[in-house]
Amino acid sequence: MTLHRRSFLAVAAAAGAGALAACAGPGSTAPKGGGQPAATGKPEGKVSFAHWRAEDRATFDQLGNAFAAATPGVTVAQDITPSNDYQSQALNRLRGSKIGDVFPTFRGAQFEQFVKAGVYADLTGQDVVQNYEPALIEAGRKDGKQWGLPYQVVFPMPVVNLEALQKAGLSEAPGDWDGFLSMLEKLKGAGFTPIAWPGADIGNAGQLFNSMVMNNQPSDDACAQVEAGKLKATDPWFVQTLRQYAQLRPYFQPNATGTGAEAAQQLFSSGRAAMLATGSYQIASVRSMGGKFPVDVLAPITTTKGKAKYQGTYNATFILGLNTGSAVQPAAKAWLAFLSDKANATTYANATVQHVTVKGVDYQNADLKQLAPWLQKKTMLAPRFQFLNLDVRNALEGACISVVGGTSPEQAAEKAQQVVAEKIR
């Protein structure tokens, strides 16, 4: 290829990355310390590492064995539960129990709940925080304090087939909305479905919402303000977003609002679609479906040239922290520091094919290397996850789906606002 794969999107810069143990039941006592800094002292004892990522068990076992070898008197035991169970049960299991000396939470409601309950020890000013890219651990901060360390990074914006762009004669990433539409028209003219979009799966369809609103919204917390009743779905910025969704109708696959996630992935993996409007988290599935072409991510810039604040969006997940109720806090702190070390984070990233927030990680996987420059770009923490009320989020994202299906932007906005008003009373 004559196209320089790693630098293709550089122009976008002008627009702006174990077994379950006994659990504490409802009514358990609050953690000792109530959000105080982690205790100091000699690391010793058995560290319980509670999480939901069963697919990472072998990698964490490898890292745990290396940690135990380097830290005499300390061992690590994983406590893994399914993600749905973790979201509903983790707080009661961690409070006042022996589970989860080190633990993660999901971004949003669960993180907020754990901070309020005093489960997270305060990491503000701790040496371990310096190992992380400051801009990528925003999701672990609240009220001026660093409670948790987001460990993984995904980019919830369209994945693009670079070979398709080359065949369409495209060599630069568009820096404005007109340029984005022009790119889609050229892809269509070259015989591609410009965008594969799973409109029937709101969880995946909603990822495009992040890119579409990031530069349209009046403030970075606009989604939170909608949920708080300070902004409305009928406000000009969101109606404009819906109008832009309407402009995308000719560039989605037929019956886009009836397409599921797997069908959209197959359309992209086969090379028939030039873009998959979900996120980097689906690249592994694209590879498993036989997609061999080089990929990157590319967010639609919805403003005029030079007016965009952000180049794209990211989401920081798996927010690691120390349990204030832990009886082995020095050992738990040592395990968190071990995971935060550049060499160990590199091992985790390449073994699990995940980008991480730790500074200086050496990515070996080809796709991780291709997307790594996005870790340094001007990206916004995915706005759709500001919604703590799922019904409110579904109302706004559902309006976008409805518009693609043919509803007028104004009508879709009115309907969404009716739902929001009902839910936030």
From CA 74, how far away is CA 64, in angstroms rounded?
10
From CA 306, how far away is CA 231, in angstroms rounded?
26
The per-residue pLDDT for 20 is 24
Within 89-204, strands assigned E span 102-105, 141-142, 145-146, 149-154, 159-161, 193-196
From CA 44, how far away is CA 251, in angstroms rounded?
59
Within 114-247, strands assigned E span 141-142, 145-146, 149-154, 159-161, 193-196
Task: Identify the three-state secondary structure at position 24.
Answer: coil
From CA 56, how far away is CA 68, in angstroms rounded?
18
The per-residue pLDDT for 9 is 43
From CA 116, how far away is CA 119, in angstroms rounded?
8
From CA 75, how far away is CA 64, in angstroms rounded?
7
- Domains with residue ranges and CATH for the chain: 45-154+316-375 (3.40.190.10), 159-311+382-424 (3.40.190.10)
What is the enclosing helix (H) or strand (E) of 167? helix 162-167
Task: Identify the three-state secondary structure at position 122.
Answer: strand
- Does the predicted model carry a pTM greater than 0.75? yes
From CA 59, how far away is CA 279, in angstroms rounded?
24
Residue type, 309: K
CA distances from 11 to 2, 152, 369 (A): 17, 26, 18
Residue type, 238: F
| List of the chain residues with pLDDT < 70 | 1-39, 96-97
The per-residue pLDDT for 37 is 64
The per-residue pLDDT for 317 is 84
The per-residue pLDDT for 38 is 62
Starting at the edge strand found earlier in the chain, the sheet holding 193-196 runs: 193-196, 273-276, 159-161, 295-297
List the structure tokens of 182: 């022009």
From CA 350, how far away is CA 382, in angstroms rounded?
24
Place of tokens 């952000």: 310
Q: Which of 104, 52, 94, 110 is nearest to 336 (CA)?
A: 104
From CA 100, how far away is CA 322, in angstroms rounded?
8
Task: Identify the three-state secondary structure at position 195.
Answer: strand
The per-residue pLDDT for 156 is 95
Within a 13 Å sphere around the CA of 395, how many CA atoms are in the beta-carbon half? Answer: 26
CA distances from 134 to 25, 130, 146, 376 (A): 36, 8, 11, 11
Within a 13 Å sphere around the CA of 371, how many CA atoms are in the beta-carbon half? Answer: 32
**b (16+ CB within 10 A) / e for 60-94:** beebbeebbeebeebebbbbbbeeeebbeebbbbb
The per-residue pLDDT for 7 is 40
